Structure 1
């Protein structure tokens, strides 16, 4: 059975599929060099000269024959496109109806309130007039990903595809779980890296994860228990299947206990799953496919005793740069490698960096060190005047 994997960036899940000998090909936006070396790939950027839009991925797929589809980011925001794809091939993931419900904050807010799941105060269009103090609110689009277009709310009227949420001070985190429509298995918890200058990110832009959580065993187990309960409730209520993720913030309550506040549910493969796969020796693609047939993995996160940390970082360009020599990048833990001669615009992703370390801080430092070396190699440097300039 020939399976199409499609979304904005498919390299990580495609590698997982190839490792488990599945017959797949990919259509995404970037079409990076290392992906094209391991799997059939067609790129909106390189092969079709089209901008990134989910509908352009569908348009590109019209040229190919396939039996089934695995979709990833950002198709969760376009259930009507998944429905269109389902007329051509079997959808190996959550249904359009599930996507509509789990991504609808009116539905999600009601569910979490009724089930005593904590989340930031969230207001929908026309509800912003309830706010008496406009400080401490974030304006969020409901149809984006990776933290893009999130900003501080300044009191403006909300459009149809916007919400505002109370800002929660704490540790941003990601949960990875597998569902069969009724039950779920939690397979990973990691901290999120948000808006880090060392990686060229700004504001609320997601730029990576570090796994596992940087808490002691007792506190980590406490968070695991809470997230297991939350993922179980969400899976059963929304009939979630396959690989899914949750973005949340960990905050200490008045008694000093770590408490998760749910920010978003992603009913598809997520970027931090690459870390989970490598760290715990799982094959996420196979687990995803098996769960669609009711088979969940035999995996208990609390049984995993970690002595090291692992990081995935997305490096963003600080300037317009031209990619030079990349022959040794892959063996240095670099992925999503552009082609030599590619022009990368300021603010756009350059590559992905995978590193590990004996502790959280060492892992983070190793990530930043490799990022700085890549900047040296690509000429994305800071001059004596403080202005970063590509050479």
Structure 2
């Protein structure tokens, strides 16, 4: 196996991991970041912005793009948004869990029932026909994906109905069957990154998740990155629960389970049946190539459990306004230790990711402080520029 196609909403981390492992990689995604283009043999733009558009993507269009790349592909690897890619529609294998397994794992109402049967603590989930039985507060989420951008909290029925109406306006794919209403709990967000074959599962790392971090995003539930490893007394318990769960769900390859560490212990939130946003920090902290390990899972192979060598942190910096990436802003961004580098002369929409900052250190606090300093430098440059533009448009003061 040598030639790989990676397709998804955002594929940079998968493409670069595969490139480091020695594969020839082509990509179809919605960003075509500069560092993705550097890692990939070739890339194409996925002109989809909503979950509905991704689900309606014609396999024939994908096959046509594959032909344009001029390679004989040995495998396709789906990323975010393309988890349920039909393996029977393509001329080469799809290295992912079966669409049936992915659908069950991604459906939060179905997952809640499985968690209940397995005795794994989890928040209560409500279906749209249970509005009269809801105990508030709740959080409203897309049934699959989203990165937290579309998550909304509600303290009462009025706020819930307003949130449902807002989400249906943002994405027509957010129908009643594509929205989950979940009990809102307090705690520290975490995740377990796993590898699994048909018969075995291995928890590779426990990660602290950065959710709604004010100095990275103004969205209260946006995925803002993570820190690997997460040092907590509940790490071993989360690993065991996650391994049990992915085997129960029949998932293969690289998958993740999200938890909330509450005062009473870990609570399972959801399953990500695909490569996760923590890929970069897991690889850096644990000294493992996750793409190579993912491919090995489909041969029935699991690596040895790695040990953490350092703390690795990723911070996803969001733009709080429409932002044009000109040469000066690009130079400021490139001074930092970053990934997900937007191409010059493109426009970043409000509340969309601008870039990802990275740090590694011997302690968690050092890594976080490094992220904060980098984010502050970029944000200060943008704020100073906006202030200068406003002042230049103001009437000259009278002498």
Give yes or no for contact 1:194–1:201 (8 Å, CA) kept in 2: no
- TM-superposed CA distance for 1:228, in Å, is 2.5
Residue aligning to 1:264: 270
> Per the alignment, do residues 305 and 338 of structure 1 end up closer, same or farther by CA in structure 2, a change over 3 Å counting?
closer
Return the offset for 1:8.
Answer: 1.1
Q: Which residue of 2 aligns with 1:37?
A: 38
Range that drifts further, 116-125 or 320-329: 320-329
Answer yes or no: is 1:318 the counterpart of 2:320: yes
Deviation at 1:189, TM superposition (A): 1.0
Residue 168 of structure 1 pairs with residue 185 of structure 2: yes
Cα distance, 1:23 vs structure 2? 2.2
Q: What is the distance in 2 between the residues matched to 1:277 and 1:337?
A: 19
Output the CA distance in 2 between the equivalents of 1:380 and 1:89: 51
Q: What is the CA-CA distance between 1:148 and the residue it aligns to?
A: 2.3
Q: 1:145-156 counterparts in 2 under 5 A?
A: 145-153=146-154, 154-155=156-157, 156=160
Is 1:364 aligned to residue 371 of structure 2?
Answer: no
Tell me the secondary structure at the aligned position of residue 146 of structure 2.
coil
Instruction: Answer yes or no: is 1:183 the counterpart of 2:194.
Output: no
Partners in 2 of 1:186 and 1:267 — Cα distance? 14
Separation (CA, whole Å) in 2 of partners of 1:164 and 1:380? 41
Q: Is the 8 A contact 1:201 1:207 kept in 2?
A: no
Q: Does the 8 A contact of 1:320 with 1:345 survive in 2?
A: yes
The equivalences for 1:1-391 within 5 A come to 1=1, 2-44=3-45, 51=49, 53-54=53-54, 55-56=56-57, 58=59, 59-65=61-67, 66-76=73-83, 79=84, 82-83=85-86, 86-131=89-134, 133=135, 135-153=136-154, 154-155=156-157, 156=160, 159-215=176-232, 219=233, 223-253=234-264, 259-300=265-306, 304=307, 308-323=310-325, 324-325=327-328, 326=330, 332-379=336-383, 383=387
CA distance in structure 2 between the partners assigned to 1:318 and 1:381 by the alignment: 14
Number of residue equivalences: 363
Match of 2:173 in 1: none
* Equivalent pair of 1:31/1:41 in contact (CA under 8 Å): no
Q: Distance in 2 between matches of 1:369 and 1:315?
A: 12
Q: How far, CA to CA, are the matches of 1:190 and 1:238 in structure 2?
A: 21
Structure 1 position 376, deviation (Å): 3.5
Q: Unaligned regions of 5+ residues in structure 2, if any?
A: 68-72, 165-175, 393-399
Partner of 1:256: none
Q: Give the match's secondary structure for 1:353.
A: strand
Give the secondary structure class of the aligned counterpart of 1:163: strand
The answer to whether the 8 Å contact 1:44/1:57 transfers is no
Query: How does the TM-score come out when normalised to structure 2?
Result: 0.83
| Separation in 2, partners of 1:358, 1:3 | 35
| Alpha-carbon separation, structure 2, partners of 1:289 and 1:330 | 32
- Report which of the two has the higher share of helix: 2
* Structure 1: gaps spanning 5 or more residues: 254-258
Of 372-381 and 9-18, deviating more is 372-381
RMSD: 2.6
Residue 17 of structure 1 aligns to a residue whose secondary structure is helix
Mapped to 1, the partners of 2:290 and 2:383 lie a distance apart of: 36
SS of the equivalent of 1:138 reads: strand
- The aligned counterpart of 2:171 is none
**TM-superposed deviation, 1:242:** 0.3
Q: TM-score when scaled to structure 1?
A: 0.85
